């Protein structure tokens, strides 16, 4: 039996070459039943009509994949921190972005939720206590006395 070279899209009803269909390993011929153009339009429409749902599911998937925690665990941490950055104490309401999940890059252990500034600062000094002390001493040395 030869390979399928073309097929008819179930949405637009136009017969097209198979390279115009997204791959689908579950499909009987290895391709989706709708062409890429129709598939993309359908996906775009769904995302527009379900923005909140899509954002929540993307965030939940990111939390689970990157940090191994659920949305509920994130929410529990948020509540236990009173919506504040675990480091500087700034509240979520004054921050331009949601609190970041802070984790140890060596162990993967989640430590808490941080504002973007604190999270980036920790990352830039590679979680080094020694570098943090040196930086604090540097700031202290040049601090303007009031």
Residue 1 domain-assigned (yes or no): no
Asked if pLDDT for residue 1 goes beyond 80, the answer is: no
Q: What is the pLDDT of residue 3?
A: 65
pTM reported for the whole predicted model: 0.61
Question: Max alpha carbon distance in the chain (Å)?
Answer: 86
Q: How far apart are CA 55 and CA 108, in angstroms?
A: 24
Residue 82 lies in a domain: yes
Runs of H (alpha helix) within 65-115: 71-80
CA distances from 79 to 35, 85, 109 (A): 45, 11, 19
87 in any annotated domain: yes
Q: Is residue 38 part of a domain?
A: no
Q: Is the pLDDT of residue 2 over 60?
A: no
Query: What CATH number corresponds to the domain at position 78?
Result: 3.40.1800.10
pLDDT tens digit sequence for 9-19: 999 999 999 99
Band (pLDDT 50/70/90 cuts) for residue 106 is: confident
Residue 111: band (very low, low, confident or very high) from pLDDT cuts 50, 70, 90:
very high
Count of structural domains within the chain: 1
């Amino acid at each position: 039996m030869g390979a399928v070279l073309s097929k008819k899209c179930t949405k637009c009803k136009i017969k097209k070459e198979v390279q115009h269909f997204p791959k689908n390993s579950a499909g009987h011929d290895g391709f989706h039943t709708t062409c890429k153009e129709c598939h993309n339009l359908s996906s775009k429409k769904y995302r527009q009509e379900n923005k909140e749902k899509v954002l929540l599911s993307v965030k939940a998937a990111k939390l689970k994949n990157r940090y191994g925690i659920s949305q509920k665990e994130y929410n529990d941490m948020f509540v236990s921190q009173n919506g504040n950055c675990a480091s500087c104490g700034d509240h979520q309401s004054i921050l331009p972005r949601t609190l970041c999940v802070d984790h140890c890059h060596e162990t993967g252990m989640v430590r808490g939720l941080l504002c973007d500034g604190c999270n980036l600062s920790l990352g830039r000094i590679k979680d080094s206590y020694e570098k943090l002390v040196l930086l604090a001493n540097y700031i202290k040395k040049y601090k303007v006395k009031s």
